[in-house]
Amino acid sequence: HQLMKKGVSQATLQVAVRCRPLNDFEKSRGYVSITRLVDDKVVIVLDPEHLKEQRETNLDVLKRSKEKQYVFDRALGENATNAMLYNVTVAPLVHGVLRGLNATVFAYGATGSGKTHTMVGDDQDPGLMVLSLRDIFEHISREQEKQFIVECSYMEVYNELLYDLLENSEKPLELREDPKQGAVVVGLKRILVPSADHIFALLREGNKRRKTESTDANATSSRSHAVLEILCTRSDKNCYAKQVYQGKLALVDLAGAERAHETNNAGRQLRDGANINKSLLALANCINALGKRKKKEFVFVPFRNSKLTRLLKDGLCGNSRTIMVATVSACNQQYHHTVNTLKYANRAK
């Protein structure tokens, strides 16, 4: 029992992987799915070169094969909904956030792998940002003795500059270190959220303000990180000396990971050096360090190296909980991105 308390149940970093299904275009081109779930924790990626033989073998054979298996805290397949992902990742954290704990959830993966689908989603399948807020309000409605205030901010980190996604302003905001509050974004709009229904419109509006890439029209937002912060303040209803708790849930739709992979692969020598995404690399380094810390090795976590990691520090260290959702495409065309993402996520675990 003691071990449970110290180890598994207190795990501060959890990694989940999610495979997106082929879209109609991919199907029309005759592409196929190369990801297979062994169980709710293990994924196998079929090598497209050997695909023909492997497609004739069943999962039992695959399980015993030398094909690389990747193990995570959770693995979800092509049919999983955002709600299913939510229930096994973020849902267990909400109670703590309403009692003053910090938590951070981010989607990591190549452009087109499903990060925005996972975080924002649509009307049919609302994403983790929306589901979290709904759940927070659901919890609050059951608390008779306490009083809650829920506030949100939504911002973008683009080329190491911060922009408010709730405002029509092109002016970057300053990030300042406050001895008491930690990292503070000066002038960032923080809105009082009256109910979960209000968030969808805000997120959609905000996403329209995200920077797109002039050089590649398809790669919308592939270099920008969108950060939703939900601040929950709890106090007693009928009490003089009110005790106040503040918990923060940060949900991050990260920039496309393909450049980070390229950068790693090329030993940081990209063709166009300006494209190196400092924040993504810094976050990757922090996650690696946190992963090692989980294994009780002593490591220095380099939070100061980028805007994103400075911003998220509170939600990544101490007794905060972190969830990384690695998104991959099941499509054989995306083999290299998929393997790179899984390798990275596997290291973080």
Task: Give the footprint of ligand ADP on this chain (CB under 6 A).
Answer: 20-21, 23, 109, 111-117, 327
Q: Which does 54 bind (CB under 5 to 8 A by kind): Mg ion, ligand ADP, none?
A: none
Interface size with Mg ion, residues (CB under 5 A): 2
Q: Which stretch binds Mg ion (CB under 5 A): 12-20, 62-70, 108-116, 195-203?
A: 108-116
Task: Give the separation between CA 329 and CA 78, rounded to whole angstroms.
Answer: 9
Q: How far is the CB of 83 from Mg ion (least distance, A)?
A: 20
In the complex, minimum distance from the CB of residue 258 to Mg ion, in angstroms, rounded to a whole number = 12
What Rg, from alpha-carbon coordinates, does the chain have?
Answer: 20
Minimum distance of ligand ADP from residue 120's CB (angstroms)? 8
The least CB distance from residue 111 to ligand ADP, in Å, is: 4
Return the one option of ligand ADP, Mg ion, none that residue 109 interacts with (CB less than 5 to 8 A, by type): ligand ADP
How far CA 191 is from CA of 154, 226, 338, in Å, comes to 9, 17, 37
Q: In what order do the strands lie in the sheet with 42-45?
A: 35-37, 42-45, 69-71
Contact residues for 292 (Cβ-Cβ < 8 A; gap 6+): 299
Q: Which stretch binds Mg ion (CB under 5 A): 59-67, 116-124, 231-239, 272-280?
A: 116-124
- Distance CA(221)–CA(280), nearest Å, equals 13
Cα(128)–Cα(107) distance, integer angstroms = 10
Name the residue whose CB lies closest to ligand ADP: 114
291, interface contact from ligand ADP, Mg ion, none, CB < 5-8 Å by kind = none
Q: How far is the CB of 114 from ligand ADP (least distance, A)?
A: 3
Pick from 116, 263, 332, 340 the residue near Mg ion by CB under 5 A.
Answer: 116
Q: Parallel, antiparallel, or unpaired: how do β-strands 321-329 and 103-109 relate? A: parallel
Q: Which is nearer to ligand ADP, 38 or 84 (CB)?
A: 84
User: Phi/psi of residue 312, each to 5°?
Assistant: -90, -5
Q: Which residues of 201-231 are buried (b: 16+ CB within 10 A; e: fewer)?
A: ebbeebbebbeebeeeeebbbbbbbbbbbbb
| Residue 163 bridge partners (DSSP) | 156
Residue 102 binding Mg ion, by CB under 5 A: no
- Minimum CB separation from ligand ADP for residue 228, in Å? 14
Cβ distance to ligand ADP smaller for residue 2 or 124: 124
Positions in the binding site for Mg ion (CB under 5 A): 115-116
